[in-house]
């Protein structure tokens, strides 16, 4: 089966929302896709006839297992292109997302498998998100939010909570990237801000909001 760009964007958005929300709603999806709730309803009907979502009107929706499979294919394409853009074309990590949004809809299976091989079967994209293999399987991350890291334990940044250019710009400014090793030295109760330290550089403070969007793994 073949899908339109619009269909793929809906499938992908539902998949992403399902990850962090117990139930995905019409309004939420409309917000995510910059469209209107009425348009979402229309598309849900269409995706239902294609057996990509379970959907009962007024009672929510979710991806079928077939829908999830399609979603993982799109995400695989997206993240492989992101890796290519960063690694081979030397794009900054805050530039790759938008271009990959377009490239991900080129759906030749052979192209993507050869690209994967050419890139050396990478396991994570430039934001630390895992890349599904050609069977749709991917690493499950043991990462936690920086806000839940214990004090004075070294951890390594392994991902970010989202790909907004705002977040990535801030991280670039603070010199934090995937692989950066750091420790939390102090937690301020007033606003839940954290004082962190990177190597032997002067300690500095980051907001609770930023901390929640920084994924880290324990271990030197």
Partner DNA sequence: AATTAAATTTAGACAAATCTAAAAATTAAT
Partner DNA sequence: ATTAATTTTTAGATTTGTCTAAATTTAATT
Site of interaction with DNA (CB under 7 A): 4-7, 9, 25-28, 34-46, 55, 57-60
Q: From residue 1 to residue 40, what is the string marking binding to its own copies with x (rule CB under 8 A)?
A: ----------------------------------------
* C-beta closer to DNA: residue 31 or 122: 31
> Of DNA, its own copies, none, which one does residue 201 interact with (CB within 5 to 8 Å by kind)?
none
Q: How far apart are CA 143 and CA 169, in angstroms?
A: 22
* C-beta closer to its own copies: residue 19 or 90: 90
Give residue 196's region: left, alpha or beta (phi > 0; psi -120 to 50). beta
Q: How far apart are CA 148 and CA 150, in angstroms?
A: 6
Segment near its own copies (CB under 8 A); pick from 63-71, 102-110, 151-159, 189-197:
102-110
* Token pair recorded at residue 186: 């102090």
Longest Cα–Cα distance in the chain: 58
CA proximity to 82, closest of 201, 24, 14, 168: 168
Closest approach of Cβ 163 to its own copies, in Å? 16
- Candidate residues 118, 188, 204, 218; the one interacting with its own copies per rule CB under 8 A: 118
CA proximity to 168, closest of 128, 216, 119: 128
91 counts as binding its own copies under rule CB under 8 A: yes
């Amino acid at each position: 089966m073949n899908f339109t760009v619009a269909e793929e964007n809906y499938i992908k958005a539902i998949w992403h929302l399902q990850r962090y929300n117990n139930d995905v709603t019409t309004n939420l999806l409309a917000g995510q896709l910059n469209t209107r709730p009425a348009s979402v309803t229309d598309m849900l009907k269409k995706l239902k006839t294609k057996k990509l979502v379970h959907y009962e009107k007024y009672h929510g929706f979710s991806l079928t297992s077939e829908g999830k499979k399609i979603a993982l294919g799109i995400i695989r394409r997206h993240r492989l292109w992101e890796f290519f853009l960063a690694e081979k074309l030397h794009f900054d990590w805050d530039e790759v997302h938008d271009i990959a949004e377009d490239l991900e809809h080129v759906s030749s299976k052979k192209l993507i498998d050869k690209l994967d091989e050419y890139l050396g079967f990478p396991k994570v994209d430039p934001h630390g998100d895992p890349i599904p293999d050609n069977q749709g399987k991917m690493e499950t991350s043991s990462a936690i939010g920086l806000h839940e890291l214990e004090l004075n334990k070294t951890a390594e940044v392994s991902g970010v909570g989202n790909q907004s250019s705002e977040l990535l710009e801030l991280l670039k400014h603070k010199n934090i990237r995937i692989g950066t090793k750091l420790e939390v030295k102090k937690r301020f109760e007033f606003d839940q801000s954290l004082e962190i330290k990177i190597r032997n550089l002067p300690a500095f403070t980051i907001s609770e909001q930023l901390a929640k969007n920084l994924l880290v793994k324990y271990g030197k």
